[in-house]
Amino acid sequence: MTVYTTITSPLGELTLVGEARATGTALRAVSITGGKSVAVQPDWVADRAAFATVIEQLDEYFRGTRTHFELEYAVEGSEFRRRVWQALDDIPYGRTATYGELAARIGAPRAALRAVGAAIGANPVLIVRPCHRVIGADGRLTGYAGGLERKRRLLELEHAA
């Protein structure tokens, strides 16, 4: 069963979507209103309590007391996307990486930079899977589904900007 809730954050309203399981809720999506957002479906069940752990960890992150997330995910993607997403998870808090560095980490050729960028752009769990830590080769901020201003704010929160 798909469950969802919305919460207020320093970046604006977040929509959390998850899959209810016997072991708890596995996170499927985190989206930001005003950015690339998830459309709530009629068969989804509103259940804020199902996201208690996610909400607690996001609150800690925004207060600056959490540097990594310990959540279960229910995210689908190709083998290539999963490799890119794992590389995102491996970027330390307070650090950034370029698209080229991520491609190298997963053993992809330089010609695969666009594919790496597309996989990053397809990341459904914004903030908790830190795609905001990926920057251009020249150090400039590049695309972010939540908008570049929010990306800048996340990097400032992490003292990476």
Q: Where residue 134 sits, what CATH number does that domain have?
A: 1.10.10.10
Whether residues 107 and 142 share a domain: the answer is yes
Q: What is the pLDDT of residue 160?
A: 76
Identify whether 72 is part of a domain: no
Structurally, the chain folds into a number of domains equal to 2
Which regions of the chain does DSSP assign to beta strands (E)? 2-9, 12-21, 24-32, 45-46, 97-98, 134-135
* Domain's final residue, options 11, 32, 63: 63
Looking at residue 161, its pLDDT comes to 57
**Sequence-separated (6 or more) residues with CB below 8 Å from residue 78:** none
3-state secondary structure 91-115: CCCCCCEEHHHHHHHCCCCHHHHHH
What pLDDT does 93 receive?
96
Residues of the chain with pLDDT under 50: none
| 89 and 138 housed in the same domain | yes
Residues 56 and 90 in one domain: no
Q: By residue range, what is the domain housing residue 102?
A: 79-160
**Region at 4 (left for phi over 0; alpha for psi -120 to 50; beta for the rest):** beta
Q: Output the CA torsion 33→160→109→77 (10° steps).
A: -30
Domain membership flag for residue 74 = no
pLDDT tens, residue by residue, 20-66 = 998 899 999 999 988 778 899 999 999 999 999 999 999 999 999 99
| Catalytic-residue membership of 131 | yes
How many whole angstroms separate alpha carbon 155 and alpha carbon 15? 21
- Say which of 3, 131, 135, 145 is annotated catalytic: 131
